[in-house]
Copies of this chain bind each other. A is one copy, B any other.
Amino acid sequence: MNETFKALADPTRRHIIRLLKEKDMTAGEIADHFNMTKPSISHHLSTLKQAKLILDERQGQNIVYSLNTTVVQDVLGWFLEIIDGKDPGKGKEEDE
């Protein structure tokens, strides 16, 4: 879980996730969305892949990346637990 949260702590990587939410893309297509070198994007993809947030599959010359919604849901579960367990109706108690 820590690897997943760390992977999500970078804006470029979150942007990649939002791109892959729309459709699967090759590494090159993803890189075209950023003002950054391809090796840098490749490194971000590697981080996301290691966190299992994305999946990769070679198709000829290209490598196609896709979102792994299972792991995204795991993180979602972490947040749901934080919210659900919290006593509702208890907000800021500032009375002045």
Contacts and interface: CB of A to CB of B under 8 A. Distances in A.
Interface in A1-54: 2, 5-6, 8-9, 11, 14-15, 17-18, 21-22
B11 A82 contact: no
Given A9-B6, A95-B11, A95-B14, A73 B83 contact: yes
Interface in A46-96: 55, 57, 67, 69, 72-73, 75-76, 78-80, 82-83, 85-86, 91-92, 94-96
Interface of A: 2, 5-6, 8-9, 11, 14-15, 17-18, 21-22, 55, 57, 67, 69, 72-73, 75-76, 78-80, 82-83, 85-86, 91-92, 94-96
